[in-house]
Amino acid sequence: MSSEGFLKEMQTIGEKFLLKLQKLPKADPVEIVSFCVVLLFIVTVLLLMIIACSCCCYSCCSCDGHPDHRRRKIQVRPAAH
Task: Give 1-35 pLDDT, tens digit per residue.
Answer: 688 899 999 999 989 988 988 988 888 999 889 98
Whether the per-residue pLDDT at 72 is higher than 80: the answer is no
pTM reported for the whole predicted model = 0.54
Distance CA 55, CA 65 (A): 14
pLDDT, residue 53, reads: 84
Helix-then-strand count for the chain, H and E: 2, 0
